């Protein structure tokens, strides 16, 4: 392998995969067409003996190939982080272990780095019926509303980024789909480029109800990380204030009903509900206040900005 590697391509391999040799040939052709030196890091997320044997053969035949085998299936986010730790190049590519974009789309992704820190592929001519297109639009609309970053193909695993992004962004759970939003939160410039969809992409986009729920929860998790990581009182304070306000209005209604109309309220469930809302709202507010105290204590160790450049001119002689 050359002394200096310019591009590191990370390919996490999980349950969904295409024939490894075909994926290797496609990506090697696309990477070679860039004219830059590269390496491919395959991360085996789980125990797949046949795939592991095929990867070992590739690594023996091509010194640009490295294989990272995890002890068990940890998820794609963990697999990507394991690959990032092994990558050597200043430019990082993440590529799926199945056909989503053709190999020549890699040059388009890399070209986007001239004006951005993270480049996300948007597949054109995507397959799917009316229901699938509506689901896709709803998902990306909600993600854009929650994170403030308007992207059209968060499900595509083909992305290019500078190494500095990975030094500031950590992934866990299933947050790999929302990596651009996390990078945007740190002040990195995120863009999206159109690439053709691979003609070998046969995935129809059918998901279970549990998958929809998981993605929805991931969106809300990133929403909180993006908006309220360093100001939890704004979230919990607002939620607690609304809860206390509702409980207080109900208590006021009961007080007027008792004092003004003489109706008994001791045996009414509304009294219990309103009292519970006031107590719950106070606890939620207190939780936000505790979060603010923790943030204040550790504020010096937190960094949520990036310096784009520093301009300094030499001092003039007197």
Together in a domain, 251 and 209: no
d(CA 216, CA 91): 30
Total domains in the chain come to: 2
Together in a domain, 287 and 164: no
* Residues 30-68 pLDDT 10s: 999 999 999 999 999 988 999 999 999 999 999 999 999
What's the mean per-residue pLDDT of the chain?
Answer: 85
Mean pLDDT of 93-111: 93
Together in a domain, 145 and 112: yes
Together in a domain, 149 and 87: yes
The neighbour count for residue 220, using CB atoms within 10 Å, is 11
Percent of the residues in the chain that have a pLDDT greater than 90, as a whole number = 45
Q: What is the predicted pLDDT for the residue at 111?
A: 94
In a domain, 191, yes or no: yes
Tokens of 31: 């990477």
Who wins on pLDDT, 268 or 203?
268
Together in a domain, 160 and 110: yes
H or E element: which one contains 43? strand 38-44
Query: pLDDT class for 302, splitting at 50, 70, 90?
Result: low
In a domain, 307, yes or no: no
Together in a domain, 84 and 182: yes
- 3-state SS record for 48-84: CHHHHHHHHHHHHHCCCEEEEECCCCCCHHHHHHHHH
Together in a domain, 68 and 122: yes
Together in a domain, 20 and 117: yes
φ, ψ of residue 40 in degrees (nearest 5): -120, 120
CATH classification of the domain holding 120: 3.90.550.10
Query: pLDDT class for 276, splitting at 50, 70, 90?
Result: very high
In a domain, 313, yes or no: no
CB neighbour class for 288 (10 Å; exposed up to 12, middle 13-18, buried from 19): buried
Mean pLDDT of 274-286: 94
In a domain, 317, yes or no: no
Question: Cβ distance 85 to 175 under 8 Å?
Answer: no
Residue 307 in this model has a pLDDT that exceeds 70? no
Q: What is the predicted pLDDT for the residue at 204?
A: 57
- Between strands 159-162 and 118-124, the pairing is antiparallel
Together in a domain, 175 and 255: no
Q: What is the DSSP letter of 316?
A: P
In a domain, 2, yes or no: no
Long-range contacts of 1-5 (CB under 8 A, 24+ apart): 1/39, 1/63, 1/64, 2/37, 4/37, 5/37, 5/38, 5/39, 5/88, 5/89
What range defines the domain where residue 172 resides?
7-228
Residue 252 in this model has a pLDDT that exceeds 80? yes
Residue 318 in this model has a pLDDT that exceeds 70? no
Question: Cβ distance 164 to 130 under 8 Å?
Answer: no
d(CA 86, CA 60): 18
In a domain, 211, yes or no: yes
H or E element: which one contains 104? none
In a domain, 309, yes or no: no
d(CA 98, CA 120): 17
Together in a domain, 215 and 242: no
- Among the candidates 175, 209, 228, a domain finishes at 228
Together in a domain, 201 and 247: no
Tell me the angle at which helices 105-112 and 20-32 cross, rounded to the nearest 10 degrees: 50
Query: pLDDT class for 175, splitting at 50, 70, 90?
Result: confident
Q: What is the predicted pLDDT for the residue at 128?
A: 60
Q: What is the predicted pLDDT for the residue at 1?
A: 47
Query: pLDDT class for 2, splitting at 50, 70, 90?
Result: very low
In a domain, 148, yes or no: yes
The neighbour count for residue 157, using CB atoms within 10 Å, is 22
- Among the candidates 212, 228, 244, a domain finishes at 228
Query: pLDDT class for 169, splitting at 50, 70, 90?
Result: confident
Together in a domain, 192 and 286: no
* Residues 178-217 pLDDT 10s: 889 888 888 899 999 999 888 887 665 566 666 667 777 7
């Amino acid at each position: 392998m050359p002394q200096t590697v310019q591009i590191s391509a990370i390919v996490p391999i999980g349950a969904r995969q295409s024939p490894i040799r075909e994926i290797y040939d496609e990506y090697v052709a696309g990477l070679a067409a860039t004219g830059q030196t590269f390496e491919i890091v395959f991360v085996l997320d789980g125990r797949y003996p046949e795939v592991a044997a095929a990867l070992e053969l590739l690594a023996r035949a091509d010194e640009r190939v490295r294989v990272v085998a995890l002890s068990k299936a940890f998820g794609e986010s963990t697999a990507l982080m394991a690959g990032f730790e092994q990558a050597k190049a200043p430019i990082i590519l993440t590529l799926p272990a199945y056909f989503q974009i053709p190999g020549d789309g890699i040059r388009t992704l890399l070209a986007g780095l001239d004006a951005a820190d993270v480049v996300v592929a948007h597949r054109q001519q995507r397959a799917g019926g009316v229901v699938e297109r509506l689901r896709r639009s709803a998902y990306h609309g909600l993600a854009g509303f929650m994170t403030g970053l308007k992207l059209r193909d968060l499900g595509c695993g083909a992305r290019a980024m500078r190494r500095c992004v990975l030094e500031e962004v950590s992934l866990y759970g299933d947050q790999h789909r929302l990596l651009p939003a996390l990078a945007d939160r740190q002040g990195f410039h995120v863009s999206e480029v159109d690439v053709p969809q691979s003609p070998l992409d046969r995935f129809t986009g059918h998901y279970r109800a549990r998958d929809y729920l998981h993605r929805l929860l991931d969106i809300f998790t990133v929403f909180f990380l993006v908006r309220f990581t360093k100001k939890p009182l704004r979230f919990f304070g607002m939620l607690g204030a609304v809860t206390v306000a509702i409980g207080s209005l109900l208590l006021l209604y009961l007080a007027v009903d008792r004092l003004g109309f003489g109706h008994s309220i001791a045996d009414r469930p509304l009294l219990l509900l309103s009292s519970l809302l006031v107590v719950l709202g106070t606890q939620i507010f207190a939780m936000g206040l505790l979060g603010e105290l923790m943030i204040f204590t550790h504020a010096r160790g937190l960094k949520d900005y990036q310096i784009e450049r520093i301009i300094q001119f030499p001092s003039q002689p007197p």
